[in-house]
Amino acid sequence: MDIHDDKPRVLLVVPAYNEEGNILSVVRQITEAGYDYVVINDGSTDGTLRVCQANGLNCVDLPINLGIGGAVQTGHRYALEHGYDVDIQVDGDGQHDISYVPRLLEEIGRGADLVIGSRFVGESGGFRSTLLRRIGIKWLEGCIRFVTGLTITDCTSGFRASGRRAMSLFASSYPCDYPEPESIVTAHTHSLVVREVPVIMRERQSGTSSINALRSVYYMVKVTLAVLIEGMGQRGGRK
Average pLDDT in the chain:
89
> pTM to 2 decimals?
0.87
- Tell how strand 86-89 and strand 59-62 pair up: unpaired
CA distance 39 to 212: 25
DSSP letters for 73-135: HHHHHHHHHTT-SEEEE--TTS-B-GGGHHHHHHHHHTT-SEEEEESSSS---S----HHHHH
User: Can you count the helices (H) and strands (E) in the chain?
Assistant: 8, 7
> Which pLDDT score is estimated for 131?
78
Model confidence pLDDT, tens digit, residues 162-211: 999 999 999 999 988 779 999 999 999 999 999 999 999 987 655 555 55
Domain range summary for the chain, segments of one domain joined by +: 10-238
Given its phi and psi angles, is residue 84 left (phi above 0), alpha (psi -120 to 50 degrees) or beta?
A: beta
Share of the chain above pLDDT 90, in %: 72
Mean pLDDT computed over 95-120 = 97
Mean pLDDT computed over 82-86 = 98
Q: Please give the radius of gyration of the chain, using alpha carbons only, rounded to the nearest integer.
A: 17
CATH of the structural domain 10-238, one choice from 3.90.550.10, 3.60.20.30, 3.40.50.10860, 2.60.120.10: 3.90.550.10
CA distance 13 to 16: 10
